[in-house]
Structure 1
Amino acid sequence: MFEGRRKRVLIVEDEAMISMLIEDMVLDFGCEIVGPAARLDHALTLALQADIDIGILDINVDGSVVFPVADVLRFRGIPFIFSTGYDFRSLPERFRDSPTLSKPFSYDNFADTLRRALASASDPSEVV
């Protein structure tokens, strides 16, 4: 799906079945998995230290909001996609322009959102 070296995708998701589904899709696209992280502290450690190309972040992780992880990724210049079963309009103002997948999402919707997020991060004028 993506050209060049394999993209490294941070997965932050606390529900095992959803995490496995996302992992399968990420692997189908020829990407590598970072994590997955099911707790905020683990996700923050990975966000700070791991080699990551993009993050897939469940908004509510084990009872905590994932926004500190998103802040770290944004500071590092790493794109991310929120994944949520909640109303995405409740995102803090600083994240309202972030790509968001509403659960449940389809394989095609996931692929399209991932492709667009990676393309816009590498060249904001070119969205594939």
Structure 2
Amino acid sequence: MAAPIAGRSVLLVEDDFLQAHSTAKLLNDAGAEVLGPFAQVGEAMQAVTHRVVDCAVLDIDLGRGLDFEPLRWILARAMPVILVTGYGKQVLPPDLTHVPLVEKPYPVPVLIEEIARACTGST
């Protein structure tokens, strides 16, 4: 049986070098095509301007405190997204509490399952 994210393209936006590269490796090992990792939102936005990806994995604190504008930008493009953060859902503004969130440190199978759900539109 194929991995649930095999063949899926995943945009990875994470500023922590070790976290970003270990997550990218885990996703690649699970069969995903990883775009990134990107530590800067601008680079990630530019990378997907002319490319369709199945979903995004986004840290909401990219070294300058909580920032929800990149999340809103992704959602405005109807791109499924999973938040990965050390913060819980309680930090999300009311209009963003519907976005799936996986708290760090996360078990790899949990992240992969959330990505699979997002890619297929399941809840």
- CA contact under 8 A between 2:100 and 2:114: conserved in structure 1? yes
Which amino acid letter does the alignment assign opposite residue 16 of structure 2? E
CA offset digits 1:30-55 (Å, max 9, x no partner):
11111211012212323434321100
Contact 2:14 2:62 in 1 (8 A): yes
| Alpha-carbon contact 1:60-1:66 (below 8 Å) kept | yes
* Alpha-carbon distance change, 45 to 67 in structure 1, aligned in 2, over 3 angstroms: farther
What is the one-letter code of the residue matched to 2:37? P
Unmatched 5+ stretches in structure 1: none
Q: Residue 89 and residue 48 in structure 1: after superposition, are their counterparts in 2 closer, same or farther (change >3 A)?
A: farther
- For residue 31 of structure 2, what is the aligned residue in structure 1? 30
Q: Which has the higher contact order (CA 8 A, sep 6+)?
A: 2
Matched residue count:
121
- The one-letter amino acid paired with 1:50 is R
TM superposition shift of 1:60: 0.4
Map 1:10-29 → 2, pairs under 5 A = 10-29=11-30
Q: Check conservation: 2:10, 2:54, Cα contact below 8 A.
A: yes
In the alignment, which residue of structure 1 is the partner of 2:73? 72
Give the alignment's Cα RMSD to 1 decimal. 2.0
When the two structures are superposed, what TM-score results if normalisation uses the length of structure 1?
Answer: 0.82
Q: Note closer, same or farther for the CA distance 1:63–1:42 as it changes in structure 2 (3 Å cut).
A: same
- 1:109 aligns to 2:110 (yes or no): yes
Q: Determine if contact 1:47/1:69 at 8 Å carries over to the other structure.
A: no
Aligned-residue identity in percent: 25
Aligned partner of residue 61 in structure 1, secondary structure: coil
Question: What TM-score comes out, normalization by structure 2 length?
Answer: 0.85
Q: Name the residue aligned to 1:39.
A: 40
Distance 1:89 1:109, change over 3 A: same
Q: Which has the higher helix share?
A: 1
Question: C-alpha displacement at 1:83, in angstroms?
Answer: 0.5
Distance between the aligned counterparts of 2:58 and 2:67, measured in 1?
A: 7
1:82 alignment partner, SS class = strand
